[in-house]
Amino acid sequence: MELCLDWNDLRYFLAVARLHSLTEASRELRVSQATIARRIAALEHTIGRGLFTKRHDGYSLTTAGEALFEPAEQAEAHLLWLERGAAFPAESLAGIVRLAIPELLGQHFIIPSLADFSERHPSIRLEVIADVRPMRLSRREADVLVRLVHPTQGDYLVRRVGRIALALYGSPAYLAAHGSPAVPSDLLNHRMIGWEAELGFLPFSRWLLDALPETNVVFRAHTMSAQLAAAEANLGLAVLPAFVAKKFGLVRVLKEEAPFSSDIWMLQAPGSSSFARVRVLADHVAEALQQSSADFMDLG
């Protein structure tokens, strides 16, 4: 028997599945909770199985819900892709391109580099997502993605576009008050700025945790911008990109220790290179990063 699913029902389903809450889904989609509950009930009736279990901590997917989740995301991805590009031919240098970039590298280098691009291609509209957290191209959240971790899964077009160094930095005022650590054991006497536990998988987060006990982390944040601000405010020491830390007058510590370094990777979804607007943006960003790779590795 062939099912006839309503895309709006799938949209409501995905919102609740991701947010685990009717209230939050209602805010995100700007419809009433009653509307969402009614449409999910209609979807469950069409499928013939329950999709959610209501628990004290919110809504969780049933086995049927888990089976529907990935196909629903794929449907969403294709619709988003069509919405961004359906009005323009593939070879047209016009339309929307979504670019996902690492937070500080993006804010302090990639975004400034886009001024010339926008002058040369005024009909291409850019949507930029600056975040340290990984994104999945399979959901078409971005057309081009720059990241510091090589993907281990997924069917992506991947190229190496540079290298960047990160090290441990503090403000001059903090170091004047607390001293400058020379070896990892000195960190026991210092206040550390780190990541929220859910982002402990990040390579530079693990690099910091390997160097000192967890108990020394006295300030946590889920963005690098917040950690940079905390270091500037003399709250402690933070792992930051060298080129950004130097720009803000921060001082590197543990100078005899090897810094953390990472390749910079560019990812594109399969088929994205068939669109001229995506190709020219990817090539522009890749060239800019490659030309400045030596600066990104300069610890000063």
pLDDT tier for residue 116 given thresholds of 50, 70 and 90? very high
Average pLDDT over residues 280-293: 95
- Structurally, at CATH architecture level, domain 95-162+266-292 sits in 3-Layer(aba) Sandwich (3.40)
Average pLDDT over residues 249-275: 87
pLDDT tier for residue 272 given thresholds of 50, 70 and 90? confident
What are the sequence ranges of the domains in the chain? Answer: 7-78, 95-162+266-292, 164-261
**pLDDT tens column, 151-196:** 766 667 899 999 999 999 999 999 999 999 998 888 888 999 988 7
**Structure-token pair, residue 101:** 């970039």
Q: Are 169 and 231 in contact (CB under 8 A)?
A: yes
What local confidence, expressed as pLDDT, does residue 201 receive?
63
**pLDDT tens column, 191-226:** 999 887 666 667 777 777 776 655 678 888 888 899
What local confidence, expressed as pLDDT, does residue 198 receive?
66
Query: 7-78 domain in CATH 2.40.10.120?
Result: no
- Structurally, at CATH architecture level, domain 164-261 sits in 3-Layer(aba) Sandwich (3.40)
Same fold, 7-78 and 95-162+266-292: no
pLDDT at residue 125 greater than cutoff 70? yes
